[in-house]
Amino acid sequence: MINLFLIGSLLIILSILYSLLDKTPKGKYLSLLNGIGIALCIIPAGYVMLYDTVLTLSFNIYPYGEIWLNIDNLSAFFMIITGIMGFISILYSKKYLLAYQKSIYYLKIHKALISLMICSMLWVLTVQNVLLFLIVWELMSLSSLFLIIFEHNKKEVLKIALEYFIIMHISVLFLLSGFVIAVLNSNNNLNFADLNISIINEKLKYIITILLSIGFAIKAGFLPFHIWLPKAHPAAPSHISGLMSAVMIKIGIYGIFRTFLVFGLPQLNFIIGLLTLSLLSCLWGIAQAILQSDIKKILAYSSIENIGIIGLGMSLGLLGLYLNNPIIAILGFGGSFFHILNHSIYKSLLFYCIGNVYLYTHTRNIEKLGALLKKMPYTGFLFIIGAIAICGLPPFNGFISEILIYMGLFKGISMHSINYSFIMLISIISLALVGVLSIFAFTRLLSNIFLGNHRIEQHNNQKSEQTPRELFILLFFILIISLFPHKSYLFVSKPVSMFIKDAYSINVYTLLQHLSYHLLFFTGLCILIISLRYLLNKKRLIANSETWSCGYRLSKQNPYLTIIENNQEQSASKVLLNGRFQYTGHSLAKSFYSLIFPFIKKKENKKEIIDLFPQDTTYHREYCDNYDSLITNIHKFFSQLFNKFYIKSTNQIQGYLIYAVLFIALTIIITALYTFIKT
């Protein structure tokens, strides 16, 4: 059965070659090749989850030795999500890239890189050899890097790509450090299964767990390793942003889960630290999302918030295992894996809706958008569904995963230890606050994009919207999980069973079944109310009247605010309201910023008004991420440090040989010290 995975991978590689060699811009059979290849890759994953088994395959590759491929319930869960979301991204990209048909050569490379990224992620989930794992991990990072620089003609995009490249290799440095220590202390075994058996020292396991977890956390986007994420998403095309947010950052989560399976349950202080970072990620991510004006940056910070929720469920599950409380463990892990599934669906939907908005308006600034619901009704409707889901509101799927985490936290309050009860209480309050702020953030985003009047003229005369069918596939997934959460739990419980064997004995299924009845009733009630309102208003005459314009009058010629034109007051002109009368995204977020201004810096660029009759003035504001400033300061420090070495350079070959000799001597000293400590 696992041979199908190899055949599927081969087909995806053939699709890469086909994309590069195909002379037609559309790539007629590209989606078909990718679709068949991805389907063959995830069929073994479906088999594993259906029959609750493990598929393994070993073969020898020089110089790596024996290579093991392993598909268990954890790998299978992530493989199915990666395959389906990856294929939907490929389908969506076909229409999204039509606007870029002028550069056919770059389009061919771009399409090939999408296939390479999906294939490398699938191999990350199956490979059990340290060296090959790092190679496919690097392939995943490099392919995503080149996908980000699709618009390589922009200097800003290249700068962001360079930062992404550096941060991803800092992640690799931590992974390499952890794996090297593990391999050296396990008789040079390279397979994951042998590492835990060979390493006896528990403190050494703990150090390895910390190093690997940091490396994976950088990829996942946990605070304070998140700074690449809000920059990479806006720079990348929307189908790549959706793929990165829905799938790639979850590969980091997979790595953390796999680390726990290989090296065992971490110590209590690690669990509390992970829980703290998760809560901070939630709060910081959603706070930044409220203040941003770039649509994709808002969704990027929202991804950080959702990664925090996933981490919270993970921490709760680990704490349940540590305290030998299976109910808390199952609710925590169940909520975490459920949220991984849900976030991959509705975040893809939101990014693709934003992609439609960008293609229609050619801007990502919410201060320049508005009134798009009438012009893009399908996109607006789908975005509303995704926004309700991501806020964790019933009856959609985001509510299901969060309610499981809430139940686990409330169950933890009843524990006898006052310390653990206090931790659970703080977590509940923080998660509730995050939920309220999420509603505020997406209400602000939704109202500024789709409601009100348009703020710019550029999208008034555009052609009608074209909503790809792939978005309705995602809507279908949301509805299925929302209305039948107990059936979805059968899928989610499989990876949970990797951590606790009693995953099926706890009656979560029955609980979710009762919840589904309430959600069906709630959904039916909402549909009934909307239908009654429509029928009652169908024959009523709706009177239209002008909105009060605050005492100002507007001319028909000038779309902006005008009180006097040609030295004469326009007393007879009809009042025409426009975007200048509306709340802006900044004005909605201003009151929130006044509460948290000590924690977030604001940069302002404005021209002071001095004269009585001033000319046109400009004003620009930007809310800064303090962690980004910290990284900038660290970069300056090392730049100055390396510049000192550069100044002392002799510009002669003898000088460079001295540096080489010093480096070799330092390597020998470190090796000798390590050997001495080990003996």
Lowest-confidence pick of 29-38, 198-207, 358-367:
198-207
Half-sphere exposure of 357 (CA within 13 A, CB side): 31
For 421: left if phi > 0, alpha if psi spans -120 to 50, otherwise beta; the answer is alpha
Does the pLDDT value for residue 207 go beyond 70? yes
Say how far apart CA 241 and CA 226 lie, in whole Å.
Answer: 15
Q: What is the per-residue pLDDT across 134-185, written as a single tens digit (0 to 9) for each? A: 999 999 999 999 999 888 788 888 888 888 888 888 899 899 988 888 888 8
Determine which helix (DSSP H) or strand (DSSP E) holds 622, and give its type and residue range.
Answer: strand 619-623
Q: What is the per-residue pLDDT across 80-119, written as a single tens digit (0 to 9) for each? A: 999 999 999 999 988 888 777 656 777 888 889 999 999 9
Closest CA to 45 of 35, 55, 32, 57: 55
- 3-class secondary structure per residue, 433-470: HHHHHHHHHHHHHHHHHHCCCCCCCCCCCCCCCCCCCH
Q: What is the per-residue pLDDT across 355-385, written as a single tens digit (0 to 9) for each? A: 989 888 888 888 888 888 888 889 999 999 9
Does the pLDDT value for residue 569 go beyond 50? no
Say how far apart CA 274 and CA 7 lie, in whole Å.
Answer: 39
**CB of 252 within 8 A of CB of 213?**
no
Say how far apart CA 358 and CA 459 lie, in whole Å.
Answer: 10
Say how far apart CA 579 and CA 447 lie, in whole Å.
Answer: 12
Q: Where are the alpha helices (DSSP H) in 202-267?
A: 202-220, 229-235, 238-243, 249-263
Q: What is the per-residue pLDDT across 215-241, written as a single tens digit (0 to 9) for each? A: 999 999 898 888 888 888 888 899 999
Burial class (CB in 10 A: 0-12, 13-18, 19+), 113: buried
Query: What residues contact 587, with CB distance under 8 A and at least 6 apart?
Result: none
Say how far apart CA 616 and CA 609 lie, in whole Å.
Answer: 10
